[in-house]
């Protein structure tokens, strides 16, 4: 009882969730769609790698990389890091410029850098996806 009064007097909030994780709200404002779209990943001076977009939104995508577990030498996507630039081909009419957010177990998460025409194409694709899930 004295500890509670001492904490209250000093305006200190006790840790009520000790040992439990609080659910973090989704920081992404754009709706996301689970999809299976074949794409290619490209970097300047490197051979393209096949992949599949497995999750898509207006701001970015999660791409499963094919051949991730192939023996040495490992494909270049295994060495990607946060902020690395690459291109996705096959998603829209023109290659999509993007940068890496994270790389986890054969999935590369990217954020798009789109011009007006590419943004319009992506919006149209997302509209079709939204219509097909209703």
What pLDDT, in 10s, does the model give residues 50-74?
999 999 999 999 999 987 766 656 6
Domain boundaries, the chain: 33-132
Superfamily of 33-132 according to CATH: predicted glycosyltransferase like domains (2.40.10.220)
Q: Per-residue confidence at 18, pLDDT binned at 50, 70, 90?
A: very low
For 55-124, the three-class secondary structure string (H helix, E strand, C coil) is EECCCEEEEEECCCCCCCCCCHHHHCCCCCEEEEECCCCCCEEEEEEEEECCEEEEEEECCHHHHHHHHH
CB 133 within 8 A of CB 125: no
Four-residue CA torsion sign, 29, 34, 35, 40: positive
Rounded to two decimals, the pTM is 0.74
């Amino acid at each position: 009882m004295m500890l509670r009064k001492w904490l209250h007097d000093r305006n200190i909030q006790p840790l009520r969730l000790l040992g439990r994780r609080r659910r973090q709200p989704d920081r992404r404002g754009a709706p996301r769609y689970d999809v299976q779209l074949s794409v290619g990943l490209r970097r300047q001076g490197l051979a393209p790698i096949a992949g599949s977009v497995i999750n898509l939104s207006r701001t970015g995508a999660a791409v499963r990389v094919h051949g991730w577990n192939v023996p040495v030498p490992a494909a270049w996507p295994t060495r990607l890091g946060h902020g690395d630039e690459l291109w996705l081909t096959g998603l829209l009419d023109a290659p999509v410029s993007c940068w890496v957010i994270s790389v986890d177990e054969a999935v590369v998460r990217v954020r798009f850098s789109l011009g007006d025409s590419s943004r319009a194409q992506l919006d149209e694709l997302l509209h079709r996806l939204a219509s097909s899930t209703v």
